[in-house]
Amino acid sequence: MPLGEKAGFEKSQSRYCGVETEFNDNVPQLLNFNLFTSAFDFVVASLMNPSYRPSLLEKDGVLPFAASDLVLSPSQWSSHVVGKISSWIDLDSKDETLRTASETTLKQEIAWANHLSIQACILPSPKGASCVNYARCVNQILLGLNNMHLWLRIPLVKTDDDDVMDVNSTSFIDSWELWNAFRLLCEHHSQPSSLPSVNSFGRWFGEPVTAAIINMDSFLTNGWGYPCLSKCHQKLITGDSLRRHPLRPFLDYVGFLFRSMDPIPEQERFEPLMDNLEAQTYETFERNSKKYIQYQRAISKALLDRVPDEEASAVTVLMVVGAGRGPLAAEETGHKLKVYAVEKNPNAVVTLHSLVKLEGWEDIVTIISCDMRYWDASEKSDILVSELLGSFGDNELSPECLDGAQRFLKQDGISIPSSYTSFIQPVTAAKLYNDVKSHKDLVHFETAYVVKLHNVARLAPSQTVFTFTHPDYSTKKSNQRYKRLQFEIPCDTGSAMVHGFAGHFDAKLYKDVHLGIEPSTATPNMFSWFAMFFPFRTPVCIKPGSPLEVHFWRCCGSSKVWYEWCVTSPNSLAIHNISGRSFWVGL
């Protein structure tokens, strides 16, 4: 499986490349030619003779399936064959005979595929703008399926008559609208997946696209005579003395595109104020050198501003609160420093002591094993450094922690970071939505998740939500926040389904030194944080040019902090996570 053999990728991230074939009643020969004498991973094969119609079958006659289940082993059927349902089927036809025959044939072919242990079947595209009866039949079938998946073929440009694909034609159908109607009629079921045929638009990147069907006519020929794809088609693939198979060059090129993708690292959700992190988590963060380079730049600039070179002999008091295992305290600046490393995790404190001894810092660094909120410092600092930022900026309680630690800082002292801002943007994220929905409870729909946003469509640019500045000496200080935002979905996007918000942050460490994951200004090579996902209990369908009005709250109690969110336009959704009933961060 050439597309799956890529270092750094989990098995679940592997990509496979198959070939769509015509009807052939000799399935072993079909597999031998396309798989075993070539390098494709599977074949898309018709299960039923295309000339079959239920009305033509004699009473008690044998259905004309492509082959007996005995010609392949169950593992071969499961691993190497994707079933292709007859393309003539039209369950919304005005012709009652055709409509009835279509429903009978669809159920027969699905039942046969299920008997063969085939993992997936491709359903033909709806014939016209209406797909109500088609969706009803598929939804009935889904209720009885356990392991097999159904893939719905959706051409990216479609007309009523499926002839000339002219987007200016009066018969032009927005294929995403067609898919969305089908998906809604099937109650957002997680199994039917959309299959763009050639190219893709931005909305499709947030849908459960299982495969892309690329017609040979879509390939160009490069200067060396090999097949290649246009930039737009490449974007879709990237959102792999025997007889040589004639399609092998196309397979090699798709494999090349897959191997050029970067692996996506994993991330766990945690609450460091409540939890003591494990060594493996610290090690993961410490491998992200870019973050520490930015912190070191900020510290160096702050030291130069605080103590000019001609006064470098003066002692500068530097406090690192939430020191972890020491990377932020490890900066060599040439200035005379007195460093306090404050850390509440007793296991990390052991590592800090070892590091101080190893580096010979005993006369410079004092380790304080204590929660910063309760430590009584003997002197105040010139520079206060913290790394308490979460994926949403303030979601790991940096404001509350630094409010308590601010008493350590001199009145004219410098805080690093000096400020941080959270952002949200509406996204289509069908896979995330279905993962949350699978729990079948309210709690999971009212919980924010730290996730890697891979299969999503970003429908509008991010907008700022909450900003916190440190130090903050205001007398009526409160960390509670409220923000009302309005997003405009571009008209040329077409209709789109919003499953929730993606949350990001950007932090100003010191002056022009920043750190963050907000897409438009994200720090390169940053993997210490992934985005947050705030789901909707009910997805919102946005029409072209319609505004999306949202409300966001950050609420504070005596023992916890939580977020609440809702939508009020184009239609109203209930306020999520009211009073922090489902999701909160403990103080």
Helix (H) or strand (E) holding 464: strand 463-469
CA distance 561 to 400: 9
Q: Is 163 annotated as a binding residue?
A: no
Which residue out of 103, 207, 331, 387 is catalytically annotated?
Answer: 387
Which residues lie below 8 Å from residue 127, measured CB to CB, with a gap of 6+? 90, 92, 93, 162
Closest listed residue to residue 267, CA positions, set 248, 251, 287, 249: 287
Q: In this structure, what DSSP letter does residue 518 have?
A: -
Which pLDDT does position 259 carry in this prediction? 66
CA distance 424 to 427: 9
Helix (H) or strand (E) holding 14: none
Which residue out of 103, 396, 400, 446 is catalytically annotated?
Answer: 396
Which pLDDT does position 484 carry in this prediction? 96
* Cis peptide bond upstream of 417, omega within 30: yes
Residues 444-477 as b or e (16 or more Cβ within 10 Å = b):
bbbbbbbbebebbbbbbebeebbebebbeeeeee
Which pLDDT does position 487 carry in this prediction? 96
CA distance 285 to 270: 13
End-to-end C-alpha distance for the chain, whole angstroms? 50
- The residue whose two tokens read 């990390």 is 348
* Cis peptide bond upstream of 155, omega within 30: no
Nearest 5°: CA angle at 459, between 456 and 463? 110
Average pLDDT, consecutive stretches of 10 residues, N- to C-terminus, the chain (587 residues): 45 70 86 81 88 77 77 87 92 91 92 88 87 90 86 71 43 72 76 48 72 77 78 64 59 72 44 45 60 89 80 81 56 73 82 84 88 86 91 93 88 95 96 90 94 88 96 87 94 89 96 95 88 95 90 95 95 93 91
pTM to 2 decimal places: 0.69
Q: Is 292 annotated as a binding residue?
A: yes
Which pLDDT does position 236 carry in this prediction? 62
Any bridge partners for residue 535, and if so which? 500
CA distance 180 to 497: 8
Q: In this structure, what DSSP letter does residue 224 have?
A: T
CATH (residue range 2-259): 3.20.20.150
Closest listed residue to residue 210, CA positions, set 197, 221, 223: 197
Which pLDDT does position 493 carry in this prediction? 82
Burial class (CB in 10 A: 0-12, 13-18, 19+), 420: buried
CA distance 45 to 21: 6
Q: Is 473 annotated as a binding residue?
A: no
Which pLDDT does position 323 carry in this prediction? 65
In the annotation, is 387 catalytic? yes
Q: Is 343 annotated as a binding residue?
A: yes
CA distance 325 to 549: 43
Cα 549 to Cα 293, 323, 446, 449, 483: the distances in Å are 39, 40, 19, 22, 11
CATH superfamily ID and name for 279-416: Vaccinia Virus protein VP39 (3.40.50.150)
- Residue pair 45/66 in contact by the 8 Å Cβ criterion: yes
Which pLDDT does position 390 carry in this prediction? 92
- Give start-end residues of each CATH 3.40.50.150 domain in the chain: 279-416
Helix (H) or strand (E) holding 61: none
pLDDT digits (tens, 9 = 90+) for 121-145: 999 988 877 889 999 999 889 888 8
Which CATH number, 3.40.50.620, 3.40.50.10860, 2.40.37.10, 2.70.160.11, labels domain 419-586?
2.70.160.11
Strands, E assignment, 289-335: 316-321
- Give start-end residues of each CATH 2.70.160.11 domain in the chain: 419-586
Q: Is 376 annotated as a binding residue?
A: no
CA distance 214 to 563: 44
Q: Is 274 annotated as a binding residue?
A: no
Any bridge partners for residue 233, and if so which? none
Which residues lie below 8 Å from residue 508, measured CB to CB, with a gap of 6+? 417, 418, 419, 420, 514
- Residue pair 321/385 in contact by the 8 Å Cβ criterion: yes
CA distance 179 to 207: 10
